[in-house]
Amino acid sequence: MSLSVTAIKISLLLASNKNSTYKDFDFCMSNSSTIDRELIALKRKLESAIDSKTITDDQLKHQHQLFTDFIIKLSQTCKGIDISLDNKLAKLRTLFNKSADIEQIEVLTNDISHSLQNFSLKNDNDIRQLQHEFLTAGGALQKINGLPSDLRRKLRTLLKDNQESKDALTQYVPLLTQLLSFYQATLKKGNITDQANVPISTSIIPATNTQPVTDLRVIRRFSEFLDKINVSQKYQTKLRKIRAELKENMPNEQLLDSFLAAFDLLSHDLLQQRNSAKVFLSTLSEALTTVQTAVGKTLHVHQKHKQQHQQLNQQLQGQLRELSSGLEQANSLVDIKVDINSKLKAIAATIEQKSHFETEQQGELEHKLIDMQSKVNDLEQQSKNFEQRIKEQHAKSLQDALTKLYNRAAFDEHFAREIVRCQHNRTPLALVVADLDNFKRINDTYGHTAGDKTLQVIANTFKKYLEDISFIARYGGEEFVVIFTDQDKTSLLNALNSLREKVEKLPFKFKNNKVSMTFSAGVTFVKQEDNVHIAFERADTALYQAKANGKNQVIYLE
């Protein structure tokens, strides 16, 4: 037994020395066959132990590499989230590279795992908080007047997804953040009114001036926003310049400058409008004062003339009285003649004075009247100009600048009025919500200008075929709304399907590529119990169905 132990020790020694051979050992022990067998068996065991150690070593090395890779990836993912976690992961990487003690690694790994659990909990809370803020902000955004329909739709989907899953939220947070930051900027300009008055949480709005703009959509939204602004003639060129200078990948600071320039322009325009109204009012009040003075003066002159008239009349009466008393008192015909002569002269002078006075008075009055007339004419002209300007501004505020169709505000006003009328008279009123199919593709492939042109051509086609029988408006983005009064269902669907075919056949050509455009539409009739929102929602749902069914179709919902 002690011999076998010695043999094992020797064989281990030999195994560790690769230059030695087993032959020498065999030679020494050749006289013992039992020992020989034992040694051979041991040799095999040793060889297989060496083999399996190599395999284990390789496996260990591979696992070590995998773990190191994992730690590196984890570090990259967690980078910047939590500084202490970052530090711990860096320390772990160093320990691994130094092949440090396994116990040391284990302690740190446990610590990191604990940190990650805490981080995950915190993240969950953050997301829940974000979810809450998102719902509040999204609700507020939905109530914004003039929100383009594609944004409204995206927002609705976002809100719905957000209520159902927080993963969807995480996925959409960047999009939302951009939307919110853009709208916050535009809201501040006061061009879009936030009816809800709910403040949009700032915690999910990035500091836009510190982050580079990488998303083209913000620029596009802004450019669409600029398209919709109606400013006075004087500022239109400047506005067009701001819009023309918007370009892909422009630095955030430059975009902010554009926001500011647009804001500046709007406030100037507003101020000018206010000033021109002020000028008109002060001119009006000035003119009124002049007229009032003129009227007062005329009255005064009239009064003065009346007195002078009375005086002259009295004078004449007195002279006539004197004439008759002179006749009564006269002694001779000669006396009478002399007396009458002198009195008639006096009367003639008075009459002449009277007629002179009357001509003068007539002239003065005429002059005053002409003066007054011209002042009133001026005033009338100014009022007409002002009225015309107000009319033009009102018309402009109801018109979509790009397509020259009615805009969303005009639609809201018209639809609300028509609903009341049709419910009162019990006459048919239909609402159509139409949306271009795959319009984004045009913008993305051929550029925004091609997109704009497409919108104009399609708007003109809507006008050409529907204007006589309906009220057409651009609801926003690539969405149109049409209101039909006194149309039955069959003729309405025929008109829409015929328009759909006309649009499909429009020969669009961009960069030598023939492109066909289509639209989907949802239609509904307004019911007695409907309000604006319910009717719109139903038409919009029909539109969704048309999109979901494969687009380029009209869906009617009862």
Ligand X SMILES: Nc1nc2c(ncn2[C@@H]2O[C@H](COP(=O)(O)OP(=O)(O)OP(=O)(O)O)[C@@H](O)[C@H]2O)c(=O)[nH]1
Q: How far apart are CA 150 and CA 136, in angstroms?
A: 20
Q: How far is the CB of 215 from ligand X (least distance, A)?
A: 12
Determine if 436 is a binding residue for ligand X (CB under 6 A). Answer: yes
Determine if 438 is a binding residue for ligand X (CB under 6 A). Answer: yes
Distances (CA, A) of 382 to 229, 281, 283, 394, 511: 27, 10, 9, 18, 51
Q: Smaller CB distance to ligand X: residue 133 or 435?
A: 435
Residue nearest ligand X (C-beta atom): 451
Determine if 440 is a binding residue for ligand X (CB under 6 A). Answer: yes
b/e burial code for range 418-437 (CB count within 10 A of at least 16 → b): bbeebbeeeeebbbbbbbbb
State which of positions 458-497 bind ligand X (CB under 6 A). 477-478
Q: Smaller CB distance to ligand X: residue 112 or 555?
A: 555
> Which run of H or E residues covers position 473?
strand 470-476
DSSP string covering 247-264:
-TT--HHHHHHHHHHHHH
Distances (CA, A) of 224 to 296, 396, 420: 57, 17, 32
Distances (CA, A) of 543 to 5, 512, 520: 90, 32, 6
199: tokens are: 């403040």
Of 172-180, 294-302, 374-382, 432-440, which segment contacts ligand X by CB under 6 A? 432-440
Q: Smaller CB distance to ligand X: residue 133 or 148?
A: 148
Determine if 437 is a binding residue for ligand X (CB under 6 A). Answer: yes
Of 231-239, 325-333, 451-459, 481-489, which segment contacts ligand X by CB under 6 A? 451-459
Q: How far is the CB of 533 from ligand X (least distance, A)?
A: 21
Of 129-137, 157-165, 392-400, 429-437, which segment contacts ligand X by CB under 6 A? 429-437
Candidate residues 172, 222, 225, 439; the one interacting with ligand X per rule CB under 6 A = 439
The residues, any chain, with a CB within 8 Å of residue 89's CB and separated by 6 or more, are 71, 74, 75, 78, 112
Q: Smaller CB distance to ligand X: residue 88 or 448?
A: 448
Edge-first strand order for the sheet with 519-525 is: 470-476, 479-485, 429-436, 519-525, 554-557
Q: Smaller CB distance to ligand X: residue 336 or 402?
A: 402
362: tokens are: 């007539």
Q: How far is the CB of 442 from ligand X (least distance, A)?
A: 7
The residues, any chain, with a CB within 8 Å of residue 191's CB and separated by 6 or more, are 146, 225, 229, 266
Q: Torsion-angle region of residue 422: left (phi > 0), alpha (psi -120 to 50) or beta?
A: alpha
Of 44-52, 269-277, 370-378, 431-439, which segment contacts ligand X by CB under 6 A? 431-439
> Which run of H or E residues covers position 157?
helix 149-164
| x-marked contacts with ligand X along 39-68 as a string, rule CB under 6 A | ------------------------------
Determine if 264 is a binding residue for ligand X (CB under 6 A). Answer: no
Q: How far is the CB of 443 from ligand X (least distance, A)?
A: 5
Candidate residues 448, 487, 499, 523; the one interacting with ligand X per rule CB under 6 A = 448
Q: How far is the CB of 409 from ligand X (least distance, A)?
A: 16
Helical H runs in 189-251?
Answer: 216-228, 233-244
State which of positions 182-221 bind ligand X (CB under 6 A). 220
DSSP string covering 369-409:
HHHHHHHHHHHHHHHHHHHHHHHHHHHHHTB-TTT-SB-HH
For ligand X, how many residues bind (rule: CB under 6 A)?
Answer: 21
Task: Give the residue from 472, 476, 478, 475 showing the smallest Cα distance to 455.
Answer: 478
State which of positions 103-162 bind ligand X (CB under 6 A). 148, 150
Q: Smaller CB distance to ligand X: residue 148 or 522?
A: 148
Q: How far is the CB of 283 from ligand X (least distance, A)?
A: 40
Q: Smaller CB distance to ligand X: residue 182 or 439?
A: 439
Residue with token string 């997301």 = 127
Question: Hey, how many other C-beta atoms are within 10 angstroms of the C-beta on 206?
Answer: 14
154: tokens are: 């995206």
* Contact call for residues 142 and 132 (beta carbons, < 8 A): no
Candidate residues 138, 451, 487, 539; the one interacting with ligand X per rule CB under 6 A = 451
| x-marked contacts with ligand X along 216-245 as a string, rule CB under 6 A | ----x---x--x------------------
Q: Smaller CB distance to ligand X: residue 309 or 547?
A: 547
Q: How far is the CB of 186 from ligand X (least distance, A)?
A: 15
Q: Smaller CB distance to ligand X: residue 133 or 437?
A: 437
State which of positions 332-351 bind ligand X (CB under 6 A). none
Q: Smaller CB distance to ligand X: residue 208 or 403?
A: 403
State which of positions 375-414 bind ligand X (CB under 6 A). 402
What sign results for the dihedral spanned by CA atoms 118, 123, 128, 130?
Answer: positive
State which of positions 520-549 bind ligand X (CB under 6 A). 547
Candidate residues 201, 273, 308, 443; the one interacting with ligand X per rule CB under 6 A = 443
Q: Smaller CB distance to ligand X: residue 526 or 539?
A: 539
Q: Which parts of this chain interact with ligand X (CB under 6 A)?
A: 148, 150, 220, 224, 227, 402, 435-440, 443, 448, 451-452, 455, 477-478, 547, 551
